[in-house]
């Protein structure tokens, strides 16, 4: 009988791969976005910072910060879903990812609903891939601050998937 993989090894592989993916997006670092992982489920976290303010009188997060946060959350979720199978099957390792970063999906369009003022505190977002084909994908993102059920923004975006030849699955 095959022994299950030690839990530390599983966590190390997944966390390293996620850090490598997020670390490869300079703009995500610039805004300060990080990701928390439970199994394959990701939550994007945007810690509050004064530089993220758009309206200093209210004060409120800049609409552009919110749009950026949601778009980063969508791209990372989509990439993560794309890489997960490769990673778990052993066809891709975090180390090989670091050396040869898989190409990321490209945004075709992105529509943001600003439901409430973004308060000067931490924000969270979770994205759901509603459809992911060989060429196109549709992703929905929800963002909240204090209450999970009181969204302050949501967005839907369409993405062009990287060509299969450039996917790690295209390699032996």
CB atoms within 10 A of CB 127: 26
Tokens coding 127 = 């994205």
Residue 144 near residue 152, CB atoms below 8 Å: yes
The three-class DSSP label of residue 17 is helix
Stretch that binds another protein, among 13-21, 26-34, 89-97, 133-141 (CB under 8 A): 26-34
The backbone torsions φ and ψ at residue 35, rounded to the nearest 5 degrees and listed phi first, read -125, 140
User: By CB under 8 A, is residue 34 in contact with another protein?
Assistant: no
> With respect to another protein, which residue has the nearer C-beta, 106 or 128?
106
DSSP class of residue 167?
A: S
Q: Which residues between 86 and 105 bind another protein (CB under 8 A)? A: 101, 103-104
Which position among 5, 55, 136, 146 is part of the footprint of another protein (CB under 8 A)?
Answer: 55
The answer to whether 65 contacts another protein (rule: CB under 8 A) is yes
* Least spacing, CB of residue 172 vs another protein, in Å: 21
User: What whole-number distance in Å separates Cα of residue 79 and Cα of residue 42?
Assistant: 11
Residue 133: both structure tokens together = 């084909």
Minimum distance of another protein from residue 29's CB (angstroms)? 8
Query: In angstroms, what is the minimal distance from the CB of 1 to another protein?
Result: 43
Question: Which residues have a Cβ under 8 Å from the Cβ of 6 and sit 6 or more positions away?
Answer: none
Mark the segment that binds another protein (CB under 8 A) among 10-18, 80-88, 107-115, 122-130: 107-115
- The CA angle 113-84-126, to the nearest 5 degrees, is 20
Q: Which of 12, 40, 85, 111 is the binder for another protein (CB under 8 A)? A: 111
Q: Is 52 in the site for another protein (CB under 8 A)?
A: yes
- Using CB under 8 A as the criterion, which residues of the chain lie in contact with another protein when the complex forms? 24-31, 50-56, 60-65, 67-69, 71-72, 75, 101, 103-104, 106-114, 117
């Amino acid at each position: 009988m095959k022994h299950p993989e030690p839990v530390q090894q599983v966590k190390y592989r997944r966390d390293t791969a996620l850090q490598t993916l997020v670390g490869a997006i300079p703009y995500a670092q610039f805004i300060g976005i990080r990701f928390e992982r439970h199994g394959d489920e990701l939550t994007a976290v945007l810690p509050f910072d004064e530089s993220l303010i758009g309206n200093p009188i209210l004060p409120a997060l800049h609409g552009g910060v919110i749009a950026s946060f949601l778009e980063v959350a969508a791209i990372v979720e989509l990439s993560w879903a794309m890489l997960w199978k490769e990673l778990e099957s052993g066809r891709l390792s975090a180390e090989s990812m670091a050396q040869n970063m898989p190409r990321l999906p490209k945004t075709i369009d992105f529509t943001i609903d600003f439901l409430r003022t973004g308060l000067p505190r931490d924000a969270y977002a979770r994205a759901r891939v509603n459809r992911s084909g060989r060429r196109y994908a549709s992703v929905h993102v929800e963002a909240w601050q204090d209450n999970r059920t009181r969204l302050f923004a949501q967005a839907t975006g369409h993405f062009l998937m990287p060509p299969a030849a450039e996917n790690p699955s295209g390699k032996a």
